[in-house]
A and B are shown apart, each in its own frame.
Chain A
């Protein structure tokens, strides 16, 4: 590897990125040193195994990635605003749409849902932590260093440019000799291990750690949605791992899994990719469904309508999710029988999804609807998702897909469901749980601005793209001539993208402003919530509950509050007991660093560095295996002191 290929130079955008990365890193190092915060950073964050802090770290990383992916999106939209623009040349555009897609799905949507898993699930089921707190930290650091590896490609070595699908043969050595695709493969592999671990962790947490009395059919719907999402993760991510591993073998070791010559088959990769890829969209949207179910019920002051149907539809979706993957390549000649099967199965999956929408509506029906921010995002979602779902059904009609496939119709559709579903869902969750995590509410006025800007911007940006699809504009083109009448639609679409960007600015402003100006939430229950997370203080103490709550039936905390308001209510005596608690550990972070070193080495075919990294990984595993003293006891005194400081008497 020659140096001029190693450091990307000569492009003003990348030079700007180089400089800003150096400046930001220097500033962070300076601030940490100046305020003597290194120890704090290490003790409180880098070594934490507390699910709430891990949730916050996921959340911050996801917002940073949303920013990065968003800047990519704006650059692409600028380039496409007018015909024959010269802002980005082809190779640069290709890198940008590839990293945009990869980052948005794997390094923005995934950590964002994991943030919500971590923040809400243990609290909702009345647990003190997840089943495997150490593993939870490992998952986070694998995600973090995977994301770092991919982002590094922009300034070192060159970014992947074969789209977020990475189909061979385009992603094979013959057509893609540089390190870009290796960055893509290895960064996804590293974070993918973390994702599988998270799936297992939360599945076990939900099955094993619920508060006494909480049966499965008493669980909050968000917890149910996480359960179904985890089932999908556990079954789907290994497929991606295998697909990318085989692709890596092709590139690294001269194998022929995906080349037609020597007996391989690129269509095998296409199948494997979408066997993960389709379930993946359900992985990121199911938790959003869960959040909406919570929000709709709380802000309509009602119990959820059709709880059983909601659970059944979640589980149906998580099973069906495996039987639709071919709809991503109806035009690859699978034959009429196969296409028929996958057309119909795709239409079928719309049914449970539709049922969920009806149930949300009926939950609002005869309720009292409070137009808070989480509720606004939920309503915004319903409209957006109905449109996105509708176009999804249109796409499932295979012969019609012969016309939509690879066109802007598809781009509009998946942004419809990904932004309208996952992103709006996570914004609803963020504004809903914010007081619980940080102890203060977000300023609602700024939040409403953000909401309307995002929503208006969304339709302005993506509705014209449906039209562009009908006009024959294909996706992934970096430029177009002016002979097709596409120009006005592209102009409008770009304006919409900038309106959304403004919405993002408002959100950042809202967070900064609220941190300084908004009152603390002293009740622990700012929304009159229904579920257990609202029964503890805001923010929750590190052990979550001084006494593990007893649960009878659904909406446990709502019922409890009703009981308490009875005149003859006598509070039960709660007895404090010492708590066994996991110790912090630096091993997950160090393991992440080792994975990063290995990934970086293998990306550049520096086998020695790869081996050093992998030895490091093995060493951390070894060290952990012989650590026996991993817990400590929180004495009753300490619990009393903490509770008193939080304003709760025991």
Chain B
């Protein structure tokens, strides 16, 4: 009697736990719920690689369970016993062959994916550039074409490829917007590129991903995607209503600490490149796709 009641109680607890874990399931898996072409390309590779490895791994685990059961060491077990059986050309060819084929398939798609990431996700729209600087412990966004700046929040138009040019005026960090697709390191004195694009309006989670000290855990920022018209509207409003960012204001922001979101109608010209230069950017080196001097985009 007691055991039965216990079992029921155990079942209830388990059900509760399950419910607890499942609540709000799918919408929280933001990496699996991309909102733009880059995120989609990455998701396809995540799914492909999961399937390919499952083809090998699931049978291996099942086979192991079967073998352990079938060849257990009990007196009445009459399964065959071959203590000196030590090689089989055929089986070994299969063991080496199957993984090689899987790696070939995965390698092919991976390579395609890698070269895709360094290009703008769509080519029929002119991209916009946003310069990103990670600071202790906040994010500064500068729009060279609009000449506005924001801190700890960023707005982008939908359907337009966005070229984020990344640097740091503090320790390294990493700029990550899961639903738009991936991350890239921000490093002092270096300018990195990350192409992202949002196809649907919305508010997306962005965060610093590489540990940068005391306030690191608080370095989150919303990315707000909205139609080009709304975006233009917003830029206009910012230009009219927000205060300008002066050099001294920049220095104040740069001081280690946490601050709220801010918006500026302008910033000191060339300040992004100056940040780069001040931190030791060397003009001539690293002129490949990911590592180069950004267009200054003087307004």
* Cβ-defined contact, B182 with A369, below 8 A: no
Contact of B217 among A329, A364, A479, A492 (CB under 8 A): A479
Residues of A within 8 A of B107 (CB): 343-344, 347
Query: Which of A266, A469, A472 has the most C-beta atoms of chain B within 10 angstroms of its own C-beta?
Result: A472
How far, in angstroms, from A585 to B77 measured CA to CA in the complex? Answer: 55
B6-14, B23-31, B124-132, B231-239: which one contacts chain A?
A: B23-31
User: Which chain B positions have C-beta within 8 A of A33?
Assistant: none
0 or 1 for each of B178-197: is its CB under 8 Å from A? (1 = yes): 10011111011110110000
* Complex-state Cα separation, A308 to B88, whole angstroms: 12
- Rounded to whole angstroms, the CA-CA distance of A35 and B279 in the bound complex is 63
A611 in the interface (beta carbon within 8 A): no
- Inside 8 A of B184's CB, which chain A residues have their CB? 331-333, 402
Tell me the chain A residues, 377-414 only, with Cβ under 8 Å from chain B. 379, 382-383, 386-387, 389-390, 393-394, 396-400, 402-403, 405-407
Complexed CA–CA distance, A513 and B103 (Å) = 49
| Also in contact, A170 and B172, with CB within 8 A (given A365-B67, A399-B110, A470-B31) | yes
Mask, A454-487, CB within 8 Å of B = 1, is: 0000000000100101111011111110001110
Establish whether residues A355 and B60, one from each chain, have CB atoms under 8 Å apart when the complex forms: no
Q: With an 8 A cutoff between CB atoms, is A366 at the interface? A: yes
Interface segment among B140-148, B203-211, B264-272: the answer is B203-211
Instruction: Report Cα–Cα, A335/B118, bound state, in Å.
Output: 8
Whether a CB of chain A sits under 8 angstroms from the CB of B202 is no
Question: Nearest residue in B to A301 (C-beta to C-beta)?
Answer: B83
Query: Is B72 part of the contact surface with A, judged by Cβ < 8 Å?
Result: yes
B1 at the interface (CB under 8 A from A): no
Q: Measured between alpha carbons, how far is A382 from B210 in the docked complex, in Å?
A: 32
Please tell me which stretch of A255-263, A420-428, A616-624 contacts chain B, meaning at least 4 of its Cβ atoms lie within 8 angstroms of it: A255-263
**Residues in B whose Cβ lies below 8 Å from that of A407:** 209
Is the beta-carbon distance between B46 and A393 smaller than 8 angstroms?
A: no
Query: In the bound complex, do residue B290 and residue A169 qualify as a contact, i.e. CB atoms below 8 Å apart?
Result: no
Residues on B with beta carbons closer than 8 Å to the beta carbon of A344: 103, 107, 110-111
Interface residues of A in 339-386 (CB under 8 A from B): 339-340, 343-344, 347-348, 350-351, 354-355, 357-359, 361-362, 364-371, 379, 382-383, 386
Contact A472/B178 with A367-B81, A397-B106 known, Cβ cut-off 8 Å: yes
Given contacts A344-B107, A355-B99, A397-B45, contact A366 B71 (CB under 8 A): yes
Does B242 sit within 8 A of A, measured CB to CB? Answer: no
B50 → chain A, closest Cβ, in Å? 7
In the bound assembly, the distance between CA atoms of A481 and B235 in angstroms comes to 30
The one of B52, B103, B211 in contact with A348, judged by C-beta atoms closer than 8 angstroms, is B103
Q: Say if the beta carbon of B259 comes within 8 Å of chain A.
A: no
- B215 to chain A: closest residue by CB: A90
Is B73's CB under 8 angstroms from A370's CB?
yes
Contact A403 B31 (CB under 8 A): yes
CB atoms of A367 and B71 under 8 A apart: yes
Q: Which residues of B contact A386 (CB under 8 A)?
A: 57, 60-61
| A305 and B87 within 8 A (CB) | yes
Interface residues of B in 13-52 (CB under 8 A from A): 17, 20-21, 23-24, 27-32, 39, 41-42, 45-46, 49-50, 52
- With contacts A369-B73, A474-B176 known, is A343 near B183, CB below 8 A? no
Q: Give chain B nearest CB distance to A375 CB in angstroms.
A: 9
Choose from A305, A361, A399, A484 the contact partner of B86 (Cβ within 8 Å). A305
* A339→B185 CA distance, assembly (Å): 15
Interface size class of A (residues with CB under 8 A): 35 or more
Say if the beta carbon of B243 comes within 8 Å of chain A: no
Encode contact with A along B154-175: 1 for CB under 8 Å, 0 otherwise. Answer: 0000000000000000111010
Per-residue contact bits, chain B 108-121, to A (CB 8 Å; 1 contact, 0 not): 00110111111000
Which residues of chain A are near B188, meaning CB under 8 Å?
169, 260, 266
Query: B29, B42, B205: which contacts A402 (Cβ < 8 A)?
Result: B42
Contact assessment for A476 and B30 in the assembled complex, using a CB-CB cutoff below 8 Å: no
The interface residues of chain B lying within 8 Å CB-to-CB of A336 are 114-115, 117-118, 289
**Are the CB atoms of B92 and A306 closer together than 8 Å?**
yes
Asked if A406 and B279 make an inter-chain contact with CB atoms under 8 angstroms apart, the answer reads no
Given A386-B57, A405-B209, A369:B68 Cβ within 8 A:
yes
Q: Is B110 within 8 A of A474, CB to CB?
A: no
Q: Which of B24, B63, B96 touches A485 (beta carbons < 8 Å)?
A: B24
Per the bound structure, the CA–CA distance linking A240 and B53 in Å amounts to: 33
Question: A368 vs B73: C-alpha distance in the bound complex, in angstroms?
Answer: 5
Which residues of the partner chain A approach B64 to less than 8 Å between Cβ atoms?
361, 364, 379, 382-383
B111 CB, min distance to chain A CBs, angstroms: 5
Determine how close the nearest CB of chain B comes to the CB of A340; give it in whole angstroms.
5
Return chain A residues, CB-CB under 8 Å to B88: 362
State how many angstroms separate the Cβ of A219 from the closest Cβ of chain B.
Answer: 15
Given contacts A261-B280, A364-B68, A402-B183, contact A393 B42 (CB under 8 A): no
* A91 at the binding interface (Cβ < 8 Å): yes
Contacts of B68 in A (CB 8 A): 364, 369, 379
Complex Cα spacing A340 to B63, Å: 33
Using an 8 Å CB-CB cutoff, how does the interface string of B211-234 with A read, 1 for contact, 0 for none? 111111100000000000000000
- Let me know if A331 and B111 touch, CB within 8 A: no
Residues of B within 8 A of A389 (CB): 57
Query: Nearest Cβ in chain B — how far from A514, in angstroms?
Result: 23
Cβ of B106 to closest chain A Cβ, rounded Å: 6
Among A304, A389, A402, max chain B CB count under 10 A is at A402
A396 contact set on B, CB distance < 8 A: 110
CA distance A266 to B167 in the complex (A): 13
In angstroms, Cα B72 to Cα A260, docked, is 62
Q: How near does chain A come to B165, taking the closest CB pair, in angstroms?
A: 11
Q: Known: A340-B110, A394-B50, A402-B42. Is A354-B95 also a contact (CB below 8 A)?
A: yes
CB distance from B189 to the nearest CB of A (A): 3
- Point out the residues of chain B lying under 8 angstroms from A387, CB to CB: 57
The contact string, 1 if C-beta is below 8 Å from chain B, for chain A 238-273, is 000000000000000000000111111011000000
Q: Do B182 and A399 touch across chains, with their CB atoms under 8 A apart?
A: yes
Assess A474 versus B172: contact at CB under 8 Å? Given A261-B279, A400-B49, A406-B183: no
Least CB distance from A323 to B in Å reads 14
Complex formed: what's the CA distance from A583 to B72 in Å?
Answer: 48
A194 to B110, CA, bound (A): 40
Tell me, in angstroms, the Cα distance from A343 to B88 when the chains sit together.
31
A residues less than 8 Å from B95 (CB atoms) = 309, 354-355, 358-359
- The reply to whether A406 and B57 form a contact with Cβ atoms under 8 Å apart is no
Q: Return chain B residues, CB-CB under 8 Å to A263.
A: 280, 282
Task: List A contacts of B85 (CB < 8 A).
Answer: 302-303, 305, 366
Q: Across the interface, which residues of A come within 8 angstroms of B289, CB to CB?
A: 335-336
Contact B72 A369 (CB under 8 A): yes
Residues in B whose Cβ lies below 8 Å from that of A306 = 86-87, 92
Tell me if B60 and A368 are in contact (CB < 8 A): no
Contacts of B248 in A (CB 8 A): none
Interface: A626 (CB within 8 A): no
A–B Cβ pairs within 8 angstroms, 25 of them: A169-B172, A301-B83, A303-B83, A331-B183, A333-B291, A335-B290, A335-B291, A340-B115, A343-B107, A343-B110, A344-B107, A354-B95, A358-B95, A366-B71, A367-B81, A382-B61, A386-B60, A394-B53, A398-B110, A398-B113, A402-B184, A403-B183, A475-B211, A486-B28, A488-B23
Q: A334-B290, A344-B110, A471-B31 are in contact. List 15 more A-B contacts (CB 8 A).
A: A260-B188, A261-B189, A300-B71, A302-B84, A333-B190, A333-B193, A336-B289, A348-B103, A382-B60, A393-B53, A396-B110, A397-B45, A403-B31, A406-B176, A472-B31
Interface residues, chain B, with chain A CB atoms under 8 Å away: 17, 20-21, 23-24, 27-32, 39, 41-42, 45-46, 49-50, 52-54, 56-57, 60-61, 63-64, 67-68, 71-73, 77, 79-88, 91-92, 95-96, 99-100, 103, 106-107, 110-111, 113-118, 170-172, 174, 176, 178, 181-185, 187-190, 192-193, 205, 207-217, 279-282, 288-291
